[in-house]
Chain A
Amino acid sequence: MAVLSDIRIDAPAAVPLRAGRGYWASVLQRLLRDPVAVAAGCVILTIVLAAIFAPWIAPGDPYKGAMLRRLKPIGDAMYLLGSDELGRDMLTRLIYGGRLSLFMGVMPVVFAFVIGSTLGIFAGYVGGWVNMAVMRVIDVFYAFPSVLLAIALSGALGAGITNAVVSLTIVFVPPITRVAESVTTQIRTRDYVEAARVSGAGAPTIIRVHVLGNVLGPIFVYATSLISVSMILASGLSFLGLGSKPPEPEWGLMLNTLRTAIYVQPAVAALPGVMIFITSISFNLLSDGLRSAMEVRS
């Protein structure tokens, strides 16, 4: 018997719960050894923390302007990063701006991850005509370029933060559903799923134990790669006037209202875009790092 127990069978998904934990721990370990991903993660963490603790960190009031101190340059004695077209402190507004910008950028992907995985796993697991029906509807939304669909929906729904989040969620559900469906369809035909079914496991058990453990990882990585696009699109909607409304501090909206100042204070006018850029590139690099940290498995 001792000999038998020494035989290692290389089937991580056969005992997904225990093997899964070890797998994620090793992914994290590999991720922490990737300097680019760690740097990107630190940048995101800093921006998120600054946004959360904005009232304690920010030097001023994001709404209080001063008509006589408009469009001050970067490095001004009173305003470290200058002041905007209404004389409000840019540094304060950039810190506060992270709240709405991150919320509007990240939430659609979170919602789409939940809806898209559910739809995709359901369609992939059930298969047959249900799969056909779900995926053909998804195909229709997939047939729109993402920016166009986002503009069409939020243009029709009208301006507002909720409408922008709803529109972007609808934009990201189809791609996530597609990934979820294709991964699930692959897993469903594996021998261990067949074995579980033969040994009497019901659909909920099979999905919970065998499918979710194997499917959620790839879908999650894919979803993280969408956050960068979502940040750019969400701020883009605000830039067009379809997202947040003045005087809310939000990077896209700030960029729009400062457009008139590009001849007076070009560096200050470009600042909100720098924030969008830094956040978006950090999410991209972190997602890339996560992907290569997970790829070792295959």
Chain B
Amino acid sequence: MLLYTLKRLLYVTPVAIGVSIVCFLLIHITPGDPLSAILPSDAPLELQIQMRAAYGFDKPLWMQYGLWFWKVLHGDLGTSIATGRPVAAEVTRAVGNTLILATVATLIGFTLGTFFGFVAGYFRDSPLDKLASAVSVLGVSVPHYWLGMVLVIIFSAQLGWLPPTGAGPDGSSNWRPDPEHLRYIILPALTMSVIPMGVIARTVRALVADILGQEFVQALRAKGLAEYGVFRHVVTNAAPTALAVMGLQLGYLLGGSILIETVFSWPGTGFLLNAAIFQRDLPLLQGTILVLAMFFVALNLAVDVLQTALDPRIERA
């Protein structure tokens, strides 16, 4: 187990470095000079050269990367151009809100998804299966930003039950688990949960159908095990894969929350990215994306290792 974890770590390291290179290069694929966001276009040449040296843009690309990477390793993601505050602080503040939203959404999606998946897989080709499968297709096909709008229309604009935007009363920018804040998370979390629900329902349906078709289930039934006992075996066999899919979905939601956060003005990383893009705040854009991508890489690794720990059948090659 330890050996396997070490091997995975060894494999992930170059990927993580690659991810950091892509994030570093983001600033350099932007059209025009990276300084154009800070300096007016008619700035004197002297000042331009001075700024170029100050930001290190006069050095060769690989050296710039090295310096940037060194700073990143020490927790320095640069300074936001728009606010003048350290990017690391901005991202840390936002990432908590996104993490809460994505976790709640994943849990809702996992609960509903496994339910629909089990029903569909157990009663294969029955009307129940058709219904559950339809729900999962709807879940993966719906443009979630639109679904968010529709939920706001129904529950905020028409019924007035829930607040349409924000993370808490009086423009609170930090979500806390109290009743007042709870009302604010319902709509965005429900909207976000639809994607993992669809994906997990599909996976679980295929898993359950596959497990039920295996010989050992026939053997269990033949020896007279009650249906509840068979069900327990199915759950044990399906759990590692289903949990792994759930973990990955959490990662996708963290990285893909920008659209939903924009619809609901949720003060998380997506909202931060949106601001960074439209204010041409490249350090903020770069830092946020780096943090989210690294989180995804780490989550992938954790899921991989945990899945192997849960499921001894996976070859530890």
A associates with B? yes
CB-based contact B18/A146 at 8 Å? no
| Chain B 125-162 interface 0/1 with A at a Cβ cutoff of 8 Å (1 = within) | 00000000000011011111111011011000110000
Whether, in the assembled complex, B278 has its beta carbon less than 8 Å from a beta carbon of chain A, the answer is: yes
Whether, in the assembled complex, B30 has its beta carbon less than 8 Å from a beta carbon of chain A, the answer is: yes
Instruction: Give chain B interface residues in 240-283, CB to chain A under 8 Å.
Output: 251-252, 254-256, 258-259, 262-263, 273-274, 276-278, 282
Q: Chain A residues with Cβ under 8 A from B289's Cβ?
A: 148, 151-152
Whether, in the assembled complex, A136 has its beta carbon less than 8 Å from a beta carbon of chain B, the answer is: yes
Partner of B157, one of A141, A236, A241, A266: A266
Whether, in the assembled complex, A202 has its beta carbon less than 8 Å from a beta carbon of chain B, the answer is: no
Contacts A144-B293, A157-B31; A263 near B157 (Cβ below 8 A): yes
CB-based contact A158/B258 at 8 Å? no
Q: Chain A residues with Cβ under 8 A from B273's Cβ?
A: 151, 155
Q: Chain A residues with Cβ under 8 A from B300's Cβ?
A: 143
Q: Chain A residues with Cβ under 8 A from B254's Cβ?
A: 145
Whether, in the assembled complex, A276 has its beta carbon less than 8 Å from a beta carbon of chain B, the answer is: yes
Stretch at the interface among B19-27, B70-78, B181-189, B212-220: B19-27
| Chain B 15-47 interface 0/1 with A at a Cβ cutoff of 8 Å (1 = within) | 110110111001101110000000000000000
Q: Binding site of B, secondary structure by majority: helix, strand, loop or mixed? A: helix
Q: Please tell me the number of chain A residues within 8 Å of chain B, measured between CB atoms.
A: 44
Whether, in the assembled complex, A9 has its beta carbon less than 8 Å from a beta carbon of chain B, the answer is: no
Q: Chain A residues with Cβ under 8 A from B14's Cβ?
A: 136
CB-based contact A284/B296 at 8 Å? no
The CA-CA distance from A140 to B19 in the complex, in Å, is 6
The CA-CA distance from A147 to B98 in the complex, in Å, is 15
Partner of B296, one of A143, A266, A280: A143
Q: Chain B residues with Cβ under 8 A from A148's Cβ?
A: 255-256, 258, 289, 292-293, 296
Q: Chain B residues with Cβ under 8 A from A280's Cβ?
A: 141-143
Q: Chain B residues with Cβ under 8 A from A242's Cβ?
A: 277
Q: Please tell me the number of chain B residues within 8 Å of chain A, measured between CB atoms.
A: 51
CB-based contact A137/B18 at 8 Å? yes
CB distance from B257 to the nearest CB of A (A): 8
CB-based contact A156/B141 at 8 Å? no
CB-based contact A143/B297 at 8 Å? yes
Whether, in the assembled complex, B285 has its beta carbon less than 8 Å from a beta carbon of chain A, the answer is: yes
Number of A-B contacts (CB under 8 A): 138
Q: Chain B residues with Cβ under 8 A from A147's Cβ?
A: 252, 255-256, 258-259
Q: Chain A residues with Cβ under 8 A from B158's Cβ?
A: 266
Partner of B29, one of A136, A156, A262, A272: A156
Q: Chain A residues with Cβ under 8 A from B144's Cβ?
A: 232
CB distance from A110 to the nearest CB of B (A): 20
Contacts A147-B258, A158-B31, A285-B137; A236 near B143 (Cβ below 8 A): yes
CB-based contact A269/B141 at 8 Å? no
The CA-CA distance from A236 to B251 in the complex, in Å, is 19
CB-based contact A270/B146 at 8 Å? yes
- A142 — nearest CB in chain B belongs to which residue? B15
- B259 — nearest CB in chain A belongs to which residue? A236
CB distance from B201 to the nearest CB of A (A): 14
- A258 — nearest CB in chain B belongs to which residue? B149
Contacts A155-B277, A259-B149, A266-B153; A281 near B141 (Cβ below 8 A): yes
The CA-CA distance from A239 to B262 in the complex, in Å, is 10
CB-based contact A145/B296 at 8 Å? yes
The CA-CA distance from A161 to B145 in the complex, in Å, is 20
The CA-CA distance from A255 to B145 in the complex, in Å, is 9
Whether, in the assembled complex, A184 has its beta carbon less than 8 Å from a beta carbon of chain B, the answer is: no
Q: Chain B residues with Cβ under 8 A from A157's Cβ?
A: 29-31
CB distance from A203 to the nearest CB of B (A): 29
The CA-CA distance from A270 to B152 in the complex, in Å, is 11
The CA-CA distance from A255 to B292 in the complex, in Å, is 27
CB-based contact B141/A139 at 8 Å? no
Instruction: Give chain A interface residues in 236-289, CB to chain B under 8 Å.
Output: 236, 239-242, 252, 255, 259, 262-263, 266, 269-270, 272-274, 276-277, 280-281, 284-285, 288
- A145 — nearest CB in chain B belongs to which residue? B255
The CA-CA distance from A252 to B293 in the complex, in Å, is 26
Whether, in the assembled complex, A117 has its beta carbon less than 8 Å from a beta carbon of chain B, the answer is: no
Q: Chain B residues with Cβ under 8 A from A269's Cβ?
A: 149, 153
CB-based contact A239/B256 at 8 Å? no
CB-based contact B18/A140 at 8 Å? yes
Partner of A151, one of B15, B29, B30, B258: B258
Contacts A263-B157, A277-B141; A155 near B285 (Cβ below 8 A): yes
The CA-CA distance from A263 to B157 in the complex, in Å, is 6
Whether, in the assembled complex, A83 has its beta carbon less than 8 Å from a beta carbon of chain B, the answer is: no
CB distance from A66 to the nearest CB of B (A): 25
A residues neighboring B (CB under 8 Å): 136-137, 139-141, 143-148, 151-153, 155-158, 228, 232, 235-236, 239-242, 252, 255, 259, 262-263, 266, 269-270, 272-274, 276-277, 280-281, 284-285, 288
Give 6 A-B contacts (CB < 8 Å), ordered by A residue: A147-B255, A151-B273, A152-B26, A266-B158, A270-B149, A281-B141
Shortest 9 CB-CB contacts between residues of A and residues of B: A273-B146, A145-B255, A140-B18, A147-B256, A148-B255, A281-B141, A155-B277, A266-B153, A156-B26
